[in-house]
C-alpha cells in the first residue's frame, strides 16, 4: 500500500514538475512584505555562497544548469545500487559526482531538490541509506545520462565501519568520479568526524567541495519567518560562518597532507522553496555539478549554448 502511494505520488510529482518547468513564471520581482527584509528568491549565489577560487555563476549559467535538470521521461533515472565497491558497474562512462556527509545532514533531501523529484528516501532517523545509489541526469531515449549523482550512506551516528571502508574504496578507485560534495550541517558546523573525512580526502587527493546544508536555521530563526524574507543580519551571519570555514577546509597543503577543498563553499536549504520546483541554493549546486562533470554552458535567448 505504502509502496503504491509512493509510486503514485512519484508519477504525479514527475508530471507536476514537468508542467511547472514547461511554463516558467513570467513574474517581475515582488517587493518583500517587510521593507527591512529581502525576498529569498532575490538572493544570488554571491549572497548565499563563498567563491574565492572560482567565479559565481551568472543568471544565464544558472538557467542552463536548471534546464539540464528539468525532469523528463528519461531523467532522473535510478541506475544502480551497490553496497560493495566491487559490485559497482565498471563499464559506465558517464561522469559521476558523489554526495557525502554525516547521517541526517540532508543528503537525500538535497538530491531530491536537485533532481526535482522525490526519488531518494529521506528520513528523520539516521542511517537509513545503506547503499550507494546512483541516479542519471539529462539522459535521452536510448542515450546515456549526462551526469550521474550518487547518494552515499552517511557517516557518524548509526553508520557502520564497513560502509566507511566501501565508500573509501569507491572514492579512491572510481575513475568516473569527478568530485565529491561533502555536506556540513549549518546548525552543527564541522564536527570531528567531518574533519577526519576531510583529512582523508586531502591525503588521497580526492577532489572535493563543501555544501553547507539546512541554512534556513542560520539565515532565519524559523522556517515560517523565511516566508516574509531574510534580513541583512541573517545573510551576514551566514557569510561569517563561511569565512570561518575557509582555513579549516582549505588549510596549507604542505602542512596538512594534501590539497584541500575547492575554494567555493555552496549552501542550500532543501526545505525552503524559492519558486516552482526550486529550493534555496539548488541552482548554484546544479551549476557546480555540471562544472565538475565538464558540461558548463549558458542559456542564451532561451537556447542551450555550450561555453
Ligand atoms: N530545517 C531543515 N531540515 C532539513 C533540510 N533538509 C533536510 N532536512 C531534514 O533533515 C532530516 C534528514 O534528512 P535526510 O535528507 O534524510 O538526510 P540524510 O541522512 O543525510 O540523507 C529530515 O528530517 C529532513 O526533513 C533543510 O534544508 N532544512
Ligand atoms: Mg539519506
| pLDDT, tens only, 60-73 | 999 999 999 999 99
Q: Could you give the CA distance from residue 135 to residue 129 in angstroms, rounded to a whole number? A: 14
Per the structure block, which three cell numbers stand in for 86? Answer: 566491487
Kindly indicate the confidence band of residue 137, based on its pLDDT and cuts at 50, 70 and 90. Answer: very high
Element (H, E) at 61: helix 59-68
Distances from the Cα of 73 to the Cα of 18, 23, 54, angstroms: 9, 17, 34
CA of 272 to the centre of ligand 1 (A): 11
Q: Which residues line ligand 1 (CB under 6 A)?
A: 101, 103-109, 122-124, 129, 154, 213-214, 216-217, 269-271
| Beta strands at 50-51 and 269-275: parallel, antiparallel or unpaired | unpaired
Question: What is the share, in percent, of the chain residues with pLDDT greater than 70?
Answer: 81
CA of 109 to the centre of ligand 1 (A): 6
The pLDDT score that the predictor gives to residue 19 is: 34
Q: pTM value?
A: 0.86
Q: Which architecture, in CATH terms, is 43-299? A: 3-Layer(aba) Sandwich (3.40)
Name 246's Cβ contacts closer than 8 Å, sequence gap at least 6.
Answer: 50, 52, 263, 265
- How large is the average pLDDT for residues 214-231? 85
Say whether pLDDT at 20 is over 90: no
Atom number in ligand 1 closest to CA 280: 27
Q: Nearest Cα to 6, choosing from 112, 145, 151, 156?
A: 112
CA of 105 to the centre of ligand 1 (A): 6
- Classify 72 as helix, strand or coil: strand
Amino acid at each position: 500500500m505504502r509502496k503504491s502511494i509512493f509510486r503514485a505520488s512519484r508519477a504525479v510529482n514527475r508530471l507536476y514538475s514537468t508542467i511547472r518547468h514547461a511554463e516558467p513564471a513570467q513574474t517581475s520581482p515582488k517587493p518583500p512584505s517587510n521593507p527591512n527584509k529581502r525576498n529569498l528568491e532575490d538572493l544570488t549565489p554571491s549572497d548565499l555562497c563563498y567563491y574565492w577560487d572560482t567565479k559565481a555563476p551568472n543568471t544565464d549559467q544558472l538557467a542552463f544548469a536548471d534546464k539540464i535538470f528539468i525532469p523528463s521521461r528519461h531523467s532522473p533515472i535510478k541506475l544502480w545500487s551497490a553496497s560493495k565497491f566491487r559490485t559497482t558497474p565498471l563499464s559506465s562512462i558517464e561522469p559521476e559526482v558523489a554526495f557525502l556527509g554525516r547521517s541526517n545532514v540532508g543528503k537525500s533531501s538535497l538530491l531530491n531538490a536537485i533532481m526535482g523529484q522525490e526519488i531518494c528516501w529521506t528520513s528523520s532517523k539516521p542511517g537509513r541509506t545503506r547503499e550507494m545509489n546512483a541516479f542519471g541526469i539529462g539522459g535521452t531515449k536510448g542515450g546515456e545520462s549526462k551526469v550521474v549523482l550518487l547518494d552515499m550512506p552517511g557517516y557518524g551516528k548509526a553508520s557502520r565501519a564497513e560502509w566507511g571502508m566501501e565508500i573509501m574504496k569507491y572514492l579512491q578507485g572510481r575513475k568516473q568520479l569527478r568530485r565529491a560534495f561533502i555536506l556540513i550541517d549549518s546548525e552543527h558546523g564541522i564536527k570531528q568526524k567531518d574533519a577526519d573525512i576531510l583529512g582523508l580526502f586531502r591525503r588521497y587527493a580526492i577532489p572535493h567541495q563543501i555544501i553547507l546544508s539546512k541554512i534556513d536555521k542560520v539565515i532565519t530563526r524559523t522556517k515560517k519567518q523565511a516566508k516574509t524574507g531574510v534580513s541583512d543580519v541573517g545573510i551576514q551571519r551566514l557569510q561569517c560562518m563561511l569565512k570561518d570555514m575557509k582555513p579549516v577546509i582549505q588549510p596549507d597543503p604542505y602542512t596538512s597532507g594534501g590539497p584541500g577543498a575547492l575554494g567555493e563553499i555552496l549552501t542550500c536549504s532543501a526545505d525552503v522553496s524559492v519558486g516552482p520546483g526550486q529550493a534555496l541554493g539548488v541552482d548554484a549546486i546544479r551549476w557546480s555539478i555540471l562544472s565538475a562533470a565538464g558540461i558548463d554552458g549558458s542559456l542564451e535567448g532561451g537556447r542551450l549554448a555550450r561555453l
